[in-house]
Structure 1
């Protein structure tokens, strides 16, 4: 019954709901669930599954950026083409579904009798973390969104308008602080679950967005650095070998702060890998096919690495990350067949290759560069270069020797994040942040934005979502065909 219940995750928050969805879930909830502490942990596992499902998509963090060009199969997304409209925009209902369930768990857990108060606090802390993580996701994609902190328990849903971006950020930071106050341990129980270090990483990420995109200022940059310093006390470090970070046999390694679990039978494939690798039968002419992570059934070469991404590595021929990031498949004459990604190689099983790498949410290399970015923004250049050079050293490069003015160092950090974090679904958010901070012009950095000056960087709300909630206003910059009285 618990497994059935967890699979019946409703999607009615903020929208008109069918009683066919609400009644069965409500009946199971009241009669067969929320009886013991184990129910709360089981329910939380279901929420993690939903978070993973939403995040397992290059659409959000990569497609709108400059890391991809069309691959051999396609089709590319409207996000990649920068042709988003109200009619083709993805819905945010899955994200609000997660929020509903975090709200419900936070409500119901108070009715359960725990003999271990630490376990109750840990579950609550993880739940606050996941709600903050989801609202931060919504904030970065759509900007201001409705704020809902109570579960939907009847069909009488109170529809809410979009809150301001500032108010959403306030909720994100408040939930993170709640999580930090509740975690019973300073370190990790399991890196596939939220922890105090993961909460500090999320706090730093949110504060960097607040400082640069929402004009929060130097105080937020300083607090972001302090949060990253806290993560640094949790025992994480750069692995000596860059490729080992992504070795499927070394999941939850010493560089990982938080990742979402993937396993062949339990959940399938990491989509960022399947959509950027080619089918094996399309590469029969490649003499180095054995070196590439391909699959006859799981791969679909929707995207290839962009020439810009390749060039950023090739400016430093000794950069060991290039061959980890991508691979050129060539024929017997040395002619290029195609380039595909190489970072998340998965596991070869007797019947096929499955891309069962975990989805990395935060790792120490990412946070070191985020700290470098914060220090550079504060014009603390020596501190920024210290983290930058640590990353470069691991990559096989000499210390940065270019111009040391604030703008130049910030641009170098932006480029270094591209090289270090290629394919880790960070690029679009990095571009928006560095654009807002005045380091780059996103409209010249992203090819599909070159002829669209002023094109909105936030996403439009899906047409059906607009229809279902008459209090919503469309994202600024997009045309809406939904009438409002």
Structure 2
């Protein structure tokens, strides 16, 4: 028995030492912050990853409709505490996801200038996108919280002594406008070379919003804000965008990147399947789709892809007149044989039917 036990323990010791030696092998490749920022392709790859992070930031109702009156509980229910105005210290929203994106944007702004590009316009365009994205993030912080920390460098250490403090909302607005001015000076062209990327017209739209917010909400008292906002919009109109004839075409995937679109988030089947509109789209397994006589007209999901936590509110539906051509595009009501309204479903983002289900 003792001999067997000795042999067993000896074998175990050998196996553990073997594992330890394998764990101590130097990695074949080691990508770290110190050796990553070497070439223009490094910057371009990092920017692509930052857009993915940016998508997860803005593809939600958290920072917008969730706290407004355009939505109400859907047929499944389960709305957030923000929607019911029951926020407290334990259940409030934090700004982690925003500052995560800000960190990555600041990495681009910090490291790109020292890297050589064969095309200076390509370098300037990347920096312009980063500055615009940072302005957007701070505009979002300003609209949600007012006073907010202003962090203009990436967080590369765990030194808690450098924890930033909140700055007055006027300072946050000044940072937004400063970043936008920097971005606008860097964009090499006034057109939109790629609608899946931030362009000069995108920055101008954000600047117009910021200036209007500065005057109407922050009470700047400077009417020049409004004059400059109009000038931004006038310039955008010259970049080739125009209204489409059919309102529904704006959101139709067969008219992807149409003439009304200035900037679009990239969403394709199999690559990203959690579009925010699914939160107010009916599901055949969770809602009342099966009882609707107009079932075939509703962009419902067969499974759990969609979850109707929310629905367009009575207030937002009442804001449309019967003659408004946008009304049937924005929402659709499911009705039973007696004409009773069972639910209201969003109708803009109708998705695309595939073999097993509809994807959005």
Return the match for 1:342 from 344, 347, 358.
347
What are the Cα deviations for residues 213-263 of structure 1, in whole angstroms up to 9, with x where unaligned? 111231111111111111111111111111111112212110011121111
What are the Cα deviations for residues 459-484 of structure 1, in whole angstroms up to 9, with x where unaligned? xxxxxxxxxxxxxxxxxxxxxxxxxx
Return the match for 1:42 from 41, 45, 49.
45
Q: Per-residue deviation at 1:27? A: 5.8
**Distance across 2 between alignment mates of 1:155 and 1:77:** 32
The correspondence of residues 220-231 of structure 1 with structure 2, limited to 5 A, is 220-231=225-236
Q: Which residue of 1 aligns with 2:307?
A: 300
* Pair 1:283 & 2:289 matched: yes
Q: Secondary structure at the match of 2:262?
A: strand
Q: Per-residue deviation at 1:110? A: 2.1
The correspondence of residues 176-187 of structure 1 with structure 2, limited to 5 A, is 176-187=180-191
**Distance across 2 between alignment mates of 1:255 and 1:216:** 31
What are the Cα deviations for residues 281-316 of structure 1, in whole angstroms up to 9, with x where unaligned? 431121111100100221111111111112111xx2
Return the match for 1:126 from 129, 132, 137.
129
- TM value normalised by structure 2: 0.88
Q: Per-residue deviation at 1:335? A: 2.2
**Distance across 2 between alignment mates of 1:68 and 1:150:** 37
Asked if 2 retains the 8 angstrom alpha-carbon contact of 1:201 and 1:231, the reply is yes
Q: Per-residue deviation at 1:327? A: 0.8
Asked if 2 retains the 8 angstrom alpha-carbon contact of 1:198 and 1:257, the reply is yes
**Distance across 1 between alignment mates of 2:340 and 2:93:** 39
The correspondence of residues 3-152 of structure 1 with structure 2, limited to 5 A, is 28-31=32-35, 33-152=36-155
Q: Per-residue deviation at 1:210? A: 0.4
Q: Secondary structure at the match of 2:72?
A: strand
5+ unaligned residues in a row in structure 2: which ranges?
A: 1-29
Q: Secondary structure at the match of 2:62?
A: helix
Asked if 2 retains the 8 angstrom alpha-carbon contact of 1:275 and 1:303, the reply is yes
* Pair 1:247 & 2:249 matched: no
What are the Cα deviations for residues 391-440 of structure 1, in whole angstroms up to 9, with x where unaligned? xxxxxxxxxxxxxxxxxxxxxxxxxxxxxxxxxxxxxxxxxxxxxxxxxx
Q: Which residue of 2 aligns with 1:214?
A: 218
**Distance across 2 between alignment mates of 1:112 and 1:59:** 37
Q: Secondary structure at the match of 2:183?
A: helix
Structure label with greater radius of gyration: 2
**Distance across 2 between alignment mates of 1:50 and 1:42:** 13
Q: Which has the bigger relative contact order, CA under 8 A and spacing at least 6?
A: 1
**Distance across 1 between alignment mates of 2:316 and 2:155:** 45
Q: Secondary structure at the match of 1:260?
A: coil
Q: Per-residue deviation at 1:320? A: 1.2
**Distance across 1 between alignment mates of 2:153 and 2:319:** 46
- TM value normalised by structure 1: 0.66
Asked if 2 retains the 8 angstrom alpha-carbon contact of 1:269 and 1:354, the reply is no
**Distance across 2 between alignment mates of 1:30 and 1:160:** 25
What are the Cα deviations for residues 328-359 of structure 1, in whole angstroms up to 9, with x where unaligned? 1112222222111111111111111111xxxx
Q: Secondary structure at the match of 1:91?
A: coil
Q: Per-residue deviation at 1:74? A: 2.1
**Distance across 1 between alignment mates of 2:311 and 2:156:** 45
Q: Secondary structure at the match of 1:244?
A: helix
The correspondence of residues 318-329 of structure 1 with structure 2, limited to 5 A, is 318-329=323-334
The correspondence of residues 255-266 of structure 1 with structure 2, limited to 5 A, is 255-266=260-271
**Distance across 1 between alignment mates of 2:312 and 2:124:** 43
**Distance across 1 between alignment mates of 2:232 and 2:159:** 41
Q: Please give the root-mean-square deviation of Cα atoms over the aligned residues, in Å.
A: 1.3
